[in-house]
Structure 1
Amino acid sequence: MYNRPPTIGEYLLRKLESYDIEHIFGVPGDYVLRFYNLIEQSPIQHIGMTREDAAGYAADAYARIKGMGAACVTYCVGGLSMVNAVAGAYAEKSPVVVISGAPGIREHGKDALLHHKVRDFHTQQRIYDEITVATALLDEPFTAFNEIDRVLDAVYRYKRPGYIELPRDMVDVRGTLHQRPSTGGHLSEPEILDAAVEDAVDFINRSKRPVILAGVELHRFGYQNKLLRLVEEKRIPVVATLLGKSVMPESHPLYLGIYEGAMGRQEVRQFVEDSDCVIILGAFMTDVNLGIYTANLDRARSIYATSEKITVRYHNYEEVMFDDFIDGINSPKLRKRRKPNLEWALPDTEPFRVEPNKPLTTCRLFPTPE
């Protein structure tokens, strides 16, 4: 028996489920009520919020914990209220899918003066073009499934927000089967990957004092175990950026603490900046992570690997996936180090003593070594 393709709204919900999204945060409104009805019938649970910006922040937090989050709001009065939350998610690489209802396509043709419309029908999408990795207006049944795949693929791959605008008269329209592969299939170019790994392994092996600087992307992509294996198998000390805090178990004997230039501990700063090979994995070189630009990291003594670029000193490598590179350098060709002496990194602080009659001050709550 011939099975008809799903509606655009049904397909969108199925794709969200395929990314293990089990909850959608949002505030209903008239332009998105039909899609809300589909949400209620789906396995995805809607979490109602009191404000759209709160829905954006909740979806951001959900994405950081679960891998991808989603928020669903109405047109302009809802979508524009989420801009600050989505912009923050973009800055910190949090994969949030924003689904906004919109006036119907038939209403576009009349150029009707509808409620919540700002300048023209495309104002909201143009704003989201600036704060997301991909946007789509689902205005054509033949391309709708492809457009959904394209946006979700970009959100998944780059760990940044994406935006899907769903006109109210397109929710129940049946689309055509997608014409391109769904998410996945992003592979490294084998020869370039081999060259990048060989260059990095040779550089690390020739170094005397390597150190890993671990960043937030290891969180976003779920690569904490890859980091832990590399650190333990090769006995390379590791520090974290401020944004990447907790990417490495903080009680681990090879963990030294936070590196943020002059804003961090002097011993940690000196250890990192004296290293002849700083292996930077998934870190953003922002003003905060660099201690308001007081960090001193020499590119000639650094490997810099993120989801967007791979650099070994002055050599840039394109078409190399972040996870392939991490797995590649943690190979038998990378020599295992002697266990380093890192006792100096342990803060010499006395155990906390309860003093009921003393006020709780900042200095007492956050004691630091002299």
Structure 2
Amino acid sequence: MNNLPDAFHFKTEGRIMAAYCPGIQPVTSASIASDKLICSKPRSNNGPRVIIPPPTTVPSTLGHYLARRLVQIGVSDIFSVPGDSNLMLFDYFVAEKGLNLVGCCNELNAGYAADGYARRRGVGACAVTFTVGSLSLINSIAGAYSEDLPVICIVGGPNSNDYRSKKILHHTIGLPDFTQEFRCFQNVTCHQVIIDNLEDAQWQIDRAISKCLEESKPVYISICCNLVAIPHPSFSAQQLIPLSLSPKQSNQLCLKMAVEKASDLLNTAVKPVMIGGKKLRLAKAQAVFLELADACGYAVAVTPSAKGMFPENHPHFIGTYWGTISTAFCGETVEIADASIFIGATLDELETIGYSLTYKKNKAIIVEPNRVMFPNGSCFGLILMKDFLQALTKRLKPNLTAYENYRRIYIPESDPPQSELGEALRVNVLFKHIQKMLTNNMTVISETGDSWFHSQKLKLPKSCGYEIQLLYASIGWSLGATLGYAQAAPKERVVLCIGDGSFQMTPQDVSTMLRLGQNNIIFLINNGGYTIEVEIHDGPYNVIKNWDYTAIVDAMDNREGNCWTTKVHTEEELVNAIEIATGDRNDCLCFIEVIVHRDDTSKELLEFGSKIAAMGSRPSNLL
């Protein structure tokens, strides 16, 4: 689900791996819809609107070249905010066949949308203007970096003549130093480039895109605005040269030794288990992880960030391993196992509930995308996760003991929560009905907060997706990510679960969803504040001004008929709303505001809050 599109192939010739997209169709004036052309200059008071010509059949300028490269690697949507230094570049994006420029309400949401798009499509892109735009973007790019997402950040930069002029320009902090933006992005991208000449621009673009795809991290490309439309011979090749990606190969000796050591440990264990983590996506190892699970028969759990990366209808799936708030009986099964293999897990503070996991660390194998670590401290590097799992699959003996033990202690869930007629709606009742609503062509996106804990309990149907940002945990991320994910997967329906506090961070781009005709279902959980913060440390600052949320969304729609909104207070109203959203209103955006009590929280959030509060309030060891 999260790989690059079919048009993006890897072709191995000797030691060169090339990304190649054959059959790029020429662009003609007939192929460019008139409503996709935009002004290259502002419209004067009396003059006509100025329309740029469509691109030639082959790239001839920097603007042509970058647009064509993005299409080649599978980007069909760029999330953007216009500014004076990127307008001419945007002309080329708009005119490029197969490329859609999606205007967002602000740069932060444009970055979140590129994050969501990359999760589904395998690569995303956003484009903003110099400094004032890019520094607004940077928070969302930091989140994409934490999630190992390949996002291409394109910035329209100042005129190339200004870099050494010592002049002070607008959109700066008043100093003749234009490197502030560059230095900021060095911390949240794996590669940065400023294109201030045409001689090596092609190479610079290709190198940045290749780094983005190789390392699965964001990159930064700044392009001087006066260079975009200048023809140059380097852009005029009859066919784009395939992108050269550095070959990734395992050290065969290390691979053999690691597989032998791992198979010896696991094959001599009585009740081994396997746990998948979010870096399965980075390593593109989800399919081989499933093959290993099928072959060995171990009980299989995932960490919370990896939910949705392993089919939950698999016969040996036991749930989410999240310490004391794990899925029922999952934590016990993992922690009594006499051997475990963690594959792609990121054991950070939130994934481990304040580093409180009690699995047997002296019996645990840790598999990362490029190395394997063993409990005695030995580490084997230069081993690709996919290669290791494929080789290990052939060496492990089937062992169902841990799963059989899980089945012995497993007690089926009691009856789902019920409400009295007219009783105020509870959040656990809400998620009971979200569970019933889910189908295999849906994806759930869960916002920071109590939605984390309730959505982890959902049993995802086959092919139903799930996305979360747990490590960076930027509230408001999910709304922009929903915009991007839905744009990348138009045949799926995205279900967003977001609290009122998070929604107030990024509400503007619901209007972009409406403009694009997306049919997302948004459950806005209105409990009057930042509930997750309340459970960590309460205070008056956690209470927010209540909005008329449905009226705001209706105002964004502006009577165009692209959305349906409602407020629900009881289970009966909720059931009716879901029936409408999945029935008559299946083709439009549905916004359901769910009114719940301020103190309505999951038991998992209560425990999580106390653990994180304890971590934050530890006395300084410097005193």
Q: Does 1:151 align with 2:208?
A: yes
CA contact (8 A) 2:160 2:197 kept: no
Q: Is the 8 A contact 2:343 2:368 kept in 1?
A: yes
Between stretches 156-165 and 282-291, larger displacement belongs to 156-165
Q: After TM superposition, give the deviation of residue 210 of structure 1 in Å.
A: 1.5
Q: Kindly state the Cα deviation for residue 11 of structure 1 after the two structures are TM-superposed.
A: 3.0
What are the Cα deviations for residues 167-204 of structure 1, in whole angstroms up to 9, with x where unaligned? 11232453748999622522222222222222222222
- For the residue of structure 2 that corresponds to 1:81, the secondary structure is helix
Unaligned runs of 5+ in 1: none
Q: 1:307 to 1:148 in 2, by over 3 A?
A: farther
1:230-269 deviation line (CA, Å, top 9, x unaligned): 1112211111111111222223221111111123257322
Cα contact 1:158–1:307 (8 A) shared by 2: no
Q: Note if contact 1:79-1:124 (Cα within 8 Å) is conserved in structure 2.
A: yes
Residue of structure 2 equivalent to 1:310? 372
Shift in Å, 1:346: 5.3
Q: What is the CA distance between 1:214 and its match in structure 2?
A: 0.8
How much has 1:308 moved relative to structure 2? 4.6
SS of 1:262's partner is helix
Larger radius of gyration: 2
Q: Does 1:18 find its partner at 2:33?
A: no
Query: What does residue 90 of structure 1 align with?
Result: 145
Superposition CA RMSD, Å = 2.8
Contact 2:148–2:282, Cα closer than 8 Å, also in 1: yes
Question: Retained in 1: the 8 A contact 2:63–2:93?
Answer: no
Aligned to 2:449: none
Match of 1:330 in 2: 393
Q: 1:95-131 CA deviation, whole Å, 9 max, x = no partner?
A: 2111101012211121221111234111101100011
- Could you tell which deviates more after superposition, 111-120 or 33-42? 111-120
The separation in 2 between residues aligned to 1:66 and 1:179, in whole angstroms, is 22
Amino acid paired to 2:421 = P
| Cα distance in 1, alignment partners of residues 369 and 234 from structure 2 | 32
40 and 5 in structure 1: CA distance in 2 versus 1, 3 angstrom threshold: closer
Moved more, 177-186 or 31-40: 177-186
Please show how residues 193-272 of structure 1 align to structure 2 within 5 Å: 193-265=255-327, 267-272=329-334
1:37 maps to: 91
Q: Which moved more, 1:56-65 or 1:9-18?
A: 9-18
Partner of 1:274: 336
- The SS at the match of 2:245 is coil
Preserved CA contact (<8 Å) 2:278 2:344: yes
CA distance in 1, matches of 2:304, 2:289: 17
> Aligned with 2:263: secondary structure?
helix
Residue number in structure 2 paired with 1:284: 346
Question: In terms of mean alpha carbon deviation, does 58-67 or 136-145 score higher?
Answer: 136-145
Q: 1:106 to 1:182 in 2, by over 3 A?
A: same
**Structure 1 residue matching 2:415: 3-state secondary structure:** coil
Check 1:109–1:94 CA distance in 2 against 1; reply closer, same or farther (3 A cut).
same
Q: Relative contact order (alpha carbons < 8 A, sep ≥ 6): 1 or 2 greater?
A: 1
Q: How far does the alpha carbon of each residue in 1:279-318 deviate from its partner, in whole angstroms, 9 at most, with x for none? A: 1111111111112211124443122122253323322122
Q: Aligned equivalents of 2:125 and 2:178: distance in 1?
A: 23
Measured in 2, the distance between the counterparts of 1:193 and 1:219 equals 21
Question: 1:122-171, CA deviations, whole angstroms, 9 ceiling, x for partnerless residues?
Answer: 11011000111221112343433333233222322332211111111232
Figure out how many residues of one structure are paired with residues of the other and give that number. 367
Asked if residue 55 in structure 1 is aligned to residue 120 in structure 2, the reply is no
Q: What SS does the aligned partner of 1:358 have?
A: coil
Aligned residue in 1 for 2:165 = 110
Give, as a single letter, the amino acid of the residue that structure 2 aligns with 1:33.
Answer: L
Question: What percent of counterpart residues are identical?
Answer: 28
2:224 counterpart (158, 167, 192): 167
Shift of the 311–140 alpha-carbon distance from structure 1 to 2, 3 Å rule, reads: farther
Tell which deviates more after alignment, 109-118 or 174-183: 174-183
DSSP-derived class of the 2:369 partner: coil
In 2, Cα distance between the equivalents of 1:129 and 1:210? 42
- 1:292–1:366 Cα change, 3 Å: farther
Cα distance in 2 between the residues matched to 1:316 and 1:9: 46
